[in-house]
Amino acid sequence: MFILQHLDQTIKKMRTQAANLLTVMNLGLGAFAIIFVLQGQLYTSLLFICLAAIFDRFDGIVARKLNITSDLGKQLDSLCDLISFGVAPALLLYSAILFDFGTSGAIFTIIFIACGAIRLARFNVSEHHGYFVGLPITAGGCLLTISFLLVGVLPAPAFMFIILILSFLMISTFKVTKV
């Protein structure tokens, strides 16, 4: 009887942390993406950012389905998203092409990360039901990551334009319907 009660309590605790576990998996994948950028394995980094996006998609779904949303989960998700969809994609693009622009490339990289942080902070302190204000960092980071595939196809200055446009869109005030 004691073992069954203990097992039941453990299952309940695991259930309440399921979404946070997926969120932490998102963070781990984003961290691996950064590590692979540092090792010069840019395509592997791209893969890890894409995997992080999948886990990010499911953490919210699981939290809503199991009715386990929390303020802690919201904050944790934003912190993890900053790593996986702010820092990792920005470093990927910086390593691929923006470093050629010297200090300007570094500044544009930092602008993207800063705009992502502002976007997430604004999201965390506001209530918007059914829509986002500005481009979500997940979308911005995924678009920046996918743009990496165009290195060698587009002229190098186009990437400066892409990173600035995505940065601006994240901090803009237009509404995006939640999907």
Domain residue extents for the chain? 2-177
Rounded percentage of the chain residues whose pLDDT exceeds 70: 90
Residue 70, token pair as written in the block: 């929390």
Q: How many helices (H) and strands (E) in the chain?
A: 8, 2
> What pLDDT, on a 0 to 100 scale, did the predictor assign at position 7?
58
What pLDDT is recorded for position 11?
A: 57
Q: Which residue has the higher pLDDT, 50 or 123?
A: 50
- pLDDT recorded at residue 60: 82
Average per-residue pLDDT in the chain?
Answer: 91
Query: What proportion of the chain, given as a percentage, has pLDDT over 90?
Result: 69
Residues 67-93, mean pLDDT to the nearest whole number: 92
Residues sharing a CB contact under 8 Å with residue 98, sequence separation 6 or more, in sequence order: 105, 106, 108, 109, 159, 160, 163
Using the predicted structure, report yes or no on whether residue 2 has a pLDDT greater than 80. Answer: no
Q: Which CATH number fits domain 2-177: 1.10.760.10, 3.30.70.1230, 1.20.120.1760, 3.30.9.40?
A: 1.20.120.1760
- Provide the 8-state DSSP code for 86: I
Tell me the β-bridge partners of 133.
175
